[in-house]
Amino acid sequence: MEQLLAPIKQFLKCETPKEWVDEAIKPENLNVLLIDHLICELKAAQSAMFLIRRYAVDADSAEALLAWLKPYEDFTYRKIGNWRDLEGFKLTKSMMAKTDSPYSQDLIDKMVMLIKEELHHFYQVLEIMDDYGIGYENISSSRYARGLLTHVKTHEPDALIDKLICGAYIEARSCERFAKLAPYLDQKIGDFYVSLLRSEARHYQDYLTLAEEIAGRDISERITFFSDVESELISTPDSDFKFHSGVPAA
């Protein structure tokens, strides 16, 4: 585990504060921890889907992606459907890359794999919630992703590069927090979180690799900029406890 986490710890400017871990492992916070984790998995899939639809595929493929995620979105945002039926939904069409984009295929390959894994994790979290008698309910979003994406540039290709860097930080922080929480939670949840580390670590690397390839230049200054933004969101007081929230406010 330490070998897997070493590059992630180097990438992140700060570790998750102990105060957040202390709050997260309280039994009364298990509901919000798991529900927010569930929503984070769907949002990760949605973000990857947006990147493919916006930058990499033709119109038919874009519609197929929407259809793939719709049952998950219906369940999460509109409370439509039975969660047990979600395991069977698959992408039914091969993605056709835009011919005018040199990075389309690489973006498709990495992001489709990421979506598949995030949706599988989504279902696994629902299984865990069912085992612990936790029903799904709507909760508000945290400030974290919004706080990162606020700084994304508005012109291309810099906007895409910034979104990919943000994706790398979100995935890296998720991985780091799974590792922080695993020793303190019930063994079933702790083992599950450990099982997620490898895929989450790869997701962060995929985002960062794509950002560097598409930029075709040194983007270390932009990575450092988002590192500062991300660490501030993690290390400053936050009145709303969530999976990616900051230091719990007194």
Q: How far is residue 56's CA from residue 49's CA, in Å, rounded to a whole number?
A: 10
Q: Around Cβ 213, how many Cβ atoms within 10 Å? A: 14
pLDDT score at 102: 83
Angle at alpha carbon of residue 48, lines to 111 and 89, rounded to 5°:
80
Amino acid at 186: D
Q: Identify the pLDDT of residue 16.
A: 98
pLDDT at residue 100, as a whole number: 74
Could you state, in chain order, the average pLDDT of each consecutive group of 10 residues for the chain (250 residues)? 91 97 97 97 96 93 94 95 89 83 89 94 97 94 95 96 97 96 96 92 94 96 98 97 94
Task: For the chain, list the domains and their CATH numbers.
Answer: 2-248 (1.20.1260.10)
Spatial distance between the Cα atoms of 241 and 135, rounded to a whole number of angstroms: 18
**What is the C-alpha to C-alpha distance for residues 56 and 95, in angstroms, rounded to an integer?**
9
pTM for this model (two decimals): 0.95
Specify the DSSP class assigned to residue 57: B
